[in-house]
Amino acid sequence: MTSFGAETDAAIDIVRGDVSRLHSELTKYGLVIWTGGNISGRVPGADLFVIKPSGVEYDDLTPDAMILCDLDGTVIDGTPGSTRSPSSDTAAHAYVYRNMPGVGGVVHTHSTYATAWAARGEAIPCVITAMADEFGGEIPIGPFAIIGDDSIGVGVVETLTGHRSRAVLMQNHGVFTIGKNAKDAVKAAVMAEDVARTVHLSRQLGEPLPIPQAAIDSLFDRYQNVYGQAPAGSIASTAAVASTPSPTIQNPTPTTRSAS
Ligand SMILES: O=C(CO)[C@@H](O)[C@H](O)COP(=O)(O)O
């Protein structure tokens, strides 16, 4: 059995458990059908990530069924799950991890409403406060890209770099989200579908009203920095919470490391 040392092996086991368990959130929220969609998580402190096997039913996505890959998307031989084929989108996930060092999780779904916007090649406009909170503006459209190589990853990185949104609608395909970890990326996928549905329904009633940019900025800042509970162990004062660094990833300029 391939080992990376006790500390990294322990980190891999945690990510295997997280990524395995989080797939049930996709079915719980109705974001996937049959074996569609996938989640991956970066192993902290190592150039490795864990992703689901391709075309395996959700009930069978146990921790040991998850597949460990390096950041080129190559399966690590001699590890649990390594005899199976990894997700069709492994190269895309790997490209994101190589080029967005702050990203710790990537999710892909074909959730119904968000994918309907993707099929139209239309960004979801920021017309509800929940979008301003979670995405800080519109959810953008990414290019049409072929499945199986890193083309999707290139489109995700190009579209989300410098953008507040952690979700992109890849044209004619579906949703890709990024996050500080796999759970954060799953949250973005859940929220993307929710707002895609609401804004679609609103448009059936007429033209949704825009939110002024200053209000979007204010809502995003409050939700990212003040909303919710103070981190465990901290002094639970408003001032302490307000000074907590943003939990979001800032989708920084990508590194120059090239695709393999
Ligand atoms: O649409 C695609 C390919 O991008 C996938 O979401 C499939 O629907 C699931 O592929 P695997 O992750 O099972 O290979």
Domain ranges of the chain: 6-205, 213-242
pLDDT value of position 231: 79
pLDDT at 255 over 50: no
Which tens digits make up the pLDDT trace of 70-107?
999 999 999 999 999 999 999 999 999 999 999 999 99
Instruction: Report the C-alpha gap between 40 and 66 in whole angstroms.
Output: 9
Q: Which amino acid does the sequence have at 31? A: L
Residue nearest to atom 6 of ligand 1 (CA): 37
Is residue 212 within 8 A of residue 127, CB to CB? The reply is: no
pLDDT band at 50 (very low <50, low <70, confident <90, very high): very high
Place of tokens 């690590």: 76
Q: Give residues (CB < 6 A) around ligand 1.
A: 35-38, 52, 54-55, 87-89, 108, 147
Q: Which atom of ligand 1 is nearest to the CA of 36?
A: 8
Q: Tell me the CA–centroid distance for residue 64 and ligand 1, in Å.
A: 19
Instruction: Sort 197 into a burial class: Cβ within 10 Å, 0-12 / 13-18 / 19+.
Output: middle
CATH architecture of the domain with residue range 6-205: 3-Layer(aba) Sandwich (3.40)
Token couple for 56: 């395996």
Kindly list the distances between the CA atom of residue 172 and the CA atoms of 85, 91, 245, 250, in Å, as whole numbers in the listed order: 25, 19, 36, 26
